[in-house]
Amino acid sequence: MADSSKWRFPEDLITVARYDALAQPDSGVRQALIHVHPGIVTFHEISFCEDPPSDWIRGISSLRPHLNAQNLRAGSREDREFIARSHRTRSSRTTPLKAIGETSRDKFIILDLEGLDFDVCASLFNRSDVVGIGCEHALMSDAEVIHLRCTALECGFYFDFSDEDAIFLRESLLTESEI
């Protein structure tokens, strides 16, 4: 098995570096879809199969092309409540995430969607090839957090929430002591 140190994300992706541990090759993850710049909904795909991440495959997508997600960036609880109220009523076309990356290969997906984490994340739980999801700066209301955790548990995901970030990992990937 390859040395996991070879599998680090590039330095310009420091915002996602804390998810390294979950995306180790021995965790069974073969691909990760990573969103790097807040507000610019662009995904990069990285292969964890054999080589270090020098062979980036750039997949570009836009979950909600007409929505300026950057404007939704905010940190206070009031702002989060506003975001939760606002984006729920928007009906916008979503690019199917299954179009990104190779289907049926395990993926760890990192989202930084500025208030859109809740519904996108919830839609990913039912995909069999998603083994982990990281939500950066997860801007969710309390109600959304609770519902997302419920959905995660029902779909077999373990979760860990910090002040801003959230990680969901398929329970089958956890060791017995971690569960």
- Distances in Å between the Cα of 104 and the Cα atoms of 49, 52, 131, 148 are 14, 21, 11, 24
Q: Which is nearer to another protein, 21 or 146 (CB)?
A: 146
Smallest distance, Å, CB 123 to another protein?
17
The token pair at 166 is 């959230």
- 58 contacts 49 by C-beta, under 8 angstroms: no
Q: By CB under 8 A, which span of 9-17, 33-41, 142-150, 169-177 interacts with another protein?
A: 142-150
Q: Is 145 in the site for another protein (CB under 8 A)?
A: yes
Q: Are 32 and 7 in contact (CB under 8 A)?
A: no
Binder of another protein out of 26, 51, 102, 142 (CB under 8 A): 142
Residue 150 binds to another protein (criterion: CB under 8 A): yes
Q: Does 154 bind another protein (CB under 8 A)?
A: yes
Question: Token match 């009906």: residue?
Answer: 91
Q: In whole angstroms, give the CA distance from residue 114 to residue 139.
A: 6
Site for another protein in 53-72 (CB under 8 A): none
Query: Interface residues with another protein (CB under 8 A)?
Result: 142-143, 145-147, 149-150, 153-154, 161
